[in-house]
Structure 1
């Protein structure tokens, strides 16, 4: 299969491309600066097309002759990221249809329960992109994942560095009360498996699937488990009411490698409980084996 990957140099994309190549797929990537692909071990094994994922003409050209597109573009690089992601989604939906693409696969984010008020902009944007692709004429598989566990993942690195900083401190550890919200992380290898598997879905499958690992945690319990694995002390956590995501994001940026522009939407999303629908997990497993 000839597969176009948008967002190939990101955390998930740079790991997905070699999986696709090793599985025998021909891979094309859209890059604003194709020369930078040489920094990746797979750089010379892909068909690189110069262009911007938000430019309809560039996307249409990149889609020509491909069977499927994996969309991994998540802006989140400053104010207006939701507008940029919306533009990229429309460019893909239109370009893929015009070029005769058979399948779109998109990695989005788990969503709060239906009826939740004031959904974070980060999660709202992920849902909007999925909805745009599902509304288009090309069948789409939208995978909605929570925290992706793996070295280099922004959410995981935020938790890891905060744990390493905090767990060596006092015996009583104040944590934002939202750290007790339930989450369902997923290993990066499982995300890659699901993305590759979705390329072979039956043509009529056009829907979203929640994906997650086997265990439901809280942010607090995830920090505690990491501390145990790292041999760090585990002080007694105390919930502290907190409704200042910007202030928290500044603290996260100061204590971790995650910049404030990325930390703020991640912290804002922590106010939601994000658990996968088990029926979705079963349905996807049945379809991709």
Structure 2
């Protein structure tokens, strides 16, 4: 793999925090843009260039993007406050413009897997962010993933706590919708490998594991893999995403402001329609990680 000078935004988040050491291992020189250097993980903080600043400020973006060949855009609004659609739209447009002016060679963005047609507000916003970055004039790879299975993933934590705390539950009918989850190791592999895409590539890519399951099947498989025993799940047609997010907030540590956009995306069936990225950068070593194997890795100590 060729090496380059890489910027990672969202480095204090779940994906960004795991991405940085992978990029360092691949030989890249890494810079992170963060509002607070004190929040960076100690295990790699001293191995990167730290640019303290805010992605909302053009001057901070210009400093962070100077001499950068590849930029990872891992900024999402998941706090449920304010007009996150407009906030994400403005952030993406400003980042794309600054990256173009700085001569960045590629942007990589992790978005959400989605079907055609009307989308939940949060998922539609993620799609729009990808479109804005691809329209910036900087070649952009938008990697679209469904539920990420890994310790620390908000969507996985929601599934984990629901399954553990409710041996019998009444749940929305859209728990029968089909989902193509992906293990965190595969997500990180694809994000790092996207650095090797040809310079003319400017498009979305669907990424997912080998299994297509309903959310209900995911919960039942999680229970089996973790020795929880059989779970009984009844589905009803009347639990709206808004009500469901507050229900989840009551029975899990996941904040309702985070749960709401996650729950909203579950009303859609999210299945990969193409695997083109495998053709360009290769599949993960050993092939895509099966769901149950990803669960075992996520709950294993250490």
* TM-score > 0.5, shorter chain as reference: yes
CA distance in 2, matches of 1:268, 1:109: 12
Q: CA deviation at 1:58?
A: 1.2
TM-score, normalising length: structure 2: 0.89
Instruction: Return 74-83 or 230-239, whichever deviates more.
Output: 230-239
Q: Structure 2 residue aligned with 1:229, among 225, 228, 239?
A: 225
Correspondence for 1:35: 38
Correspondence for 2:279: 286
Alpha-carbon RMSD: 1.2
Q: Structure 2 residue aligned with 1:219, among 198, 215, 218?
A: 215
CA distance in 2, matches of 1:42, 1:144: 27
For structure 1, the 5+ residue unaligned runs are none
Q: CA deviation at 1:130?
A: 0.2
Q: Structure 2 residue aligned with 1:196, among 177, 192, 195?
A: 192
Correspondence for 1:60: 62
CA distance in 2, matches of 1:106, 1:132: 11
CA distance in 2, matches of 1:89, 1:219: 31
Contact 2:12 2:39 in 1 (8 A): no
Is 2:9 the counterpart of 1:13?
no
Segments of 4+ in structure 1 off by > 6 A? none
CA distance in 2, matches of 1:136, 1:86: 12
CA distance in 2, matches of 1:87, 1:71: 13
CA distance in 2, matches of 1:31, 1:64: 15
CA distance in 2, matches of 1:41, 1:268: 35
Correspondence for 2:72: 70
Q: Structure 2 residue aligned with 1:268, among 264, 281, 288?
A: 264
CA distance in 1, matches of 2:98, 2:82: 26
CA distance in 2, matches of 1:36, 1:178: 37
Correspondence for 1:239: 235
Q: CA deviation at 1:243?
A: 4.2
CA distance in 2, matches of 1:236, 1:7: 38
For structure 2, the 5+ residue unaligned runs are 283-302
TM-score, normalising length: structure 1: 0.93
Correspondence for 1:126: 126
